[in-house]
Structure 1
Amino acid sequence: MTPPAGPSAAPARRAVVVDDEAPLARIVAGYLEREGFAVRQVHDGPAAVEAVRETDPDVVVLDLGLPGLDGLEVCRRVRAFSDCYVLVLTARAEEADTLLGLAAGADDYLTKPFSPRELVARVGVLMRRPRRPPGPATAPRLGVGDLVVDPVGREVRRDGVLVDLTRTEFDVLAALAAEPARAFSRHALVEAVWGPGWVGDEHLVDVHVLHLRRKLGDTAEEQRYVRTVRGVGYRLGPGR
């Protein structure tokens, strides 16, 4: 299986492809290069962390089964210094394993075997979520109580203290904050954050909400910021 022939655009975006199967990495890299990415390929965990440090990519395609460091640990380490998008690849079909990948900081996942075209489509959905949303240079800050969400600066502060969120965690919180009176279903949050073209397990929303709550200091007993609306989904604000 080889990428379709055709002219490629000048690389404007960067990607790191991490897979211990070099032929598969080359195929994935070829498809991404056709979409205008400058791609670096690496084949083990330590090299993956170093490649992300050196290239500051827009997106990382990361296999979970890696030598040296597994993909989960690579994702955790990358998240300590980068907010690049991470799409994990896993041969493990069990739900617990895919959720572990999301819990480590991934934005999306694909289970092997997969279509390279589907992978490129997933990357395209991620890349349509820019670091800074379009709109005026100034926009009203959002939030509830001592929680303040700055949609232009993409910052969140709780009681004046900066909260370190991944891009996806920020986007989930910003979607809730934009309509604080609305109870969002999982599907509605997927459309608001990932876009209507996303296809996958909507329960990934629950994983991102779980990590968002931990960083905001919410607990199951005291939901001050992200509230569960039974039978519906989530909304911003404390329970009543």
Structure 2
Amino acid sequence: MDNSIHILVAEDDSDISQLLCSIIRKSGYVPQPAFSGTEALLYLEQRQWSMVLLDLMLPGMTGEELLKRIDGRRNGPVIIISAKGEQHTKVSALRGGADDFITKPFDIEEVSARIDSHLRRFAQIAQPIVPNVLQHNGLVLDRDAKSVTTDGIELALTAREYEILALLMSAPKKVFTKADLYESVWNEPFYGDVNTVNVHMSNLRSKLAKAAPGSEFIETVWGIGYRLMP
């Protein structure tokens, strides 16, 4: 699972593009240059982007046209970086969906700060609000108390078992692959060590079965992974 922050840089001037990519790398993010509006559109269709830096005067497809094609539901903030600094241009871009407007020539530290600021704000907005108490089919997981009960009976879970169950209960309809579980719970890259996940999942299911005989809480979706029973 790639947790890197990828930023699309739509800028046709190679020197400015290199400078913006350098700023992005120094902040620990991953830049992807595009030197025309048409090329940028291809990248936008291929994946989701954490942010888009967009020049307005692009060959192939102008920045204004490209701005209309950027799906704000799939991609992060859009920052316009342009030499067209007239007030009506700024207002039009901001009303058209841009989140910020930086006029060329720009200050390197200001660009870096604005990128960080917008990414931080967007992450806070996009972060789903997960309640402290999760409930599903008689299971009650209390995040504050770090406890899990079923029909009033508290389960003695290990830290890993608790985190696996908390992840499943945070999105009851979602099917989590073994890679999802490993990388979220162990917070390490998954290299195919399915046995670790299998053992913890088996122990968790066994404890749930003992606490609530006859009930099944976790469903195996063959060939994909696990989710809570509907």
Relative to the length of structure 2, the TM-score reads 0.52
1:51 partner letter: Y
| Distance in 2 separating the partners of 1:79 and 1:105 | 10
CA pair 90-38 structure 1, distance change in 2 beyond 3 A? same
Report the Cα offset of residue 112 of structure 1: 0.6
Deviations 1:95-129 (A, max 9, x none): 10011111221111101110122111111110111
| Distance in 2 separating the partners of 1:91 and 1:82 | 27
2:51 partner letter: V
Report the Cα offset of residue 55 of structure 1: 3.4
Partner of 1:122: 114
Report the Cα offset of residue 11 of structure 1: 7.6
Q: Does 1:69 align with 2:69?
A: no
Kindly report which structure 2 residues correspond to 1:168-207, keeping only aligned pairs within 5 A, or say none. none
| Distance in 1 separating the partners of 2:131 and 2:65 | 37
| Distance in 1 separating the partners of 2:20 and 2:42 | 20
Partner of 2:37: 45
Quick check: 2:7–2:31 contact (8 Å CA) kept in 1?
yes
Report the Cα offset of residue 62 of structure 1: 0.4
| Distance in 2 separating the partners of 1:120 and 1:44 | 23
Deviations 1:11-37 (A, max 9, x none): 821001111101110110011011111
Kindly report which structure 2 residues correspond to 1:152-167, keeping only aligned pairs within 5 A, or say none. none
Q: Does 1:20 align with 2:12?
A: yes
Quick check: 2:51–2:75 contact (8 Å CA) kept in 1?
no
More helix by share: 2
| Distance in 2 separating the partners of 1:79 and 1:99 | 20
Q: Which runs of 4+ in 1 moved over 2 A?
A: 79-83, 131-138
| Distance in 2 separating the partners of 1:27 and 1:50 | 22
Instruction: State which of 14, 25, 39 in structure 2 corresponds to 1:33.
Output: 25
| Distance in 1 separating the partners of 2:129 and 2:118 | 19
Report the Cα offset of residue 135 of structure 1: 4.8
Quick check: 2:6–2:50 contact (8 Å CA) kept in 1?
yes
Q: Where in structure 1 are there 5+ consecutive unaligned residues?
A: 1-9, 139-240
Instruction: State which of 113, 123, 126 in structure 2 corresponds to 1:132.
Output: 126
Q: Look up the SS of the partner of 1:31 in the other structure.
A: helix
CA pair 94-127 structure 1, distance change in 2 beyond 3 A? same
Q: Look up the SS of the partner of 1:82 in the other structure.
A: coil
Q: Look up the SS of the partner of 2:126 in the other structure.
A: coil
Partner of 1:6: none
Report the Cα offset of residue 38 of structure 1: 1.1
Q: Does 1:92 align with 2:101?
A: no
CA pair 134-81 structure 1, distance change in 2 beyond 3 A? closer
Instruction: State which of 84, 92, 95 in structure 2 corresponds to 1:103.
Output: 95
Deviations 1:24-77 (A, max 9, x none): 101100110111111110110011111122231100100011111110110110
| Distance in 2 separating the partners of 1:37 and 1:55 | 16
Identity of counterpart residues, as a percentage?
A: 26
| Distance in 2 separating the partners of 1:14 and 1:96 | 30
Quick check: 1:18–1:43 contact (8 Å CA) kept in 2?
yes
Deviations 1:116-157 (A, max 9, x none): 22111111110111143475438xxxxxxxxxxxxxxxxxxx
| Distance in 1 separating the partners of 2:130 and 2:10 | 37
Quick check: 2:83–2:103 contact (8 Å CA) kept in 1?
yes
1:94 partner letter: E
| Distance in 1 separating the partners of 2:33 and 2:3 | 15
